[in-house]
Amino acid sequence: MKLYLDPGHGGSDPGAHGNGMNEKDITLDIALNIQTILTNYENVQVKMSRTTDQTVSLTERTNQANSWGADYFLSIHCNSFNGSAQGYEDYIHSSLSDSSQTAKYQDTLHKAIVDLNQLNDRGQKKANFHVLRESSMPALLTENGFIDNEHDGALLKKPAWRKQVAQGHVNGLVKAFNLKRKQEGAAIIYRIIAGSFKSRENANDRADFFQTNGIESFVGAITISGEQWYRVQAGAFSDQENAEKRLNEVIKAGVKDAFIVKEKR
């Protein structure tokens, strides 16, 4: 199953704003959590529209998903409406019938997400959004709370809640596409660590450097000896040989101190 995962907005487009947060940061964190959780499942490939705070046009997102041949397009967003509205809703394209395959996938993901997200259920909806209209595969856009609402904003600020929301999305994908969890003994992940920085800006610069060299990476926060660092990860693999190939690519790009971390999951 090939999933095109699209964290909404990014770079020069912050999306909605409220309670000291930008939508682009929340959507990226939820999407990265989805990607990480899916490493526990067999036969799943994930391609993300962005893994850092970069500008990607709507056309670039759908063109990439279409040319890759994705089986499903999942776009992650948050809502806003003058602080008075709250809750979760999701969208498929307005031209689709309730009996379409896309609508059936929406039914499955919607239930799985609202089971975990602690938000008011605003229902399943349809709209003429670009990513729903121009993607050639079934597509869903999720609106995960209102960033400018006091209740929803308090949840959106919590990393644990964002992981929970990611788990809800994954639960829906698992049911919709009959994904199988990897065997316990085989669940080893090889992560390529390609830099740790005290400055988030420096970490983003490193990730952007990889992006220009065709190497997918993202920035994650980690606490070491009570201090927060920003770690650049240039891939996670279940196969050690593939991890070593990526490490060689990173080193050839000029980052000589990159290394592999082996983790059991």
* Catalytic sites, residue numbers: 143
Strand partners, 231: 196, 220
Task: Give me 250's structure tokens.
Answer: 């990173």
Cα 209 to the center of its chain, rounded Å: 20
**b/e string for 87-119 if b means 16 or more Cβ within 10 A?**
bbbbbbbeebeeeeebbebbebbbebbbebbeb
Q: Among 19, 31, 23, which residue's Cα sits nearest to residue 151?
A: 19
Q: Are 73 and 4 in contact (CB under 8 A)?
A: yes
3-state helix, strand, coil in the chain (%, to 5): 40, 30, 30
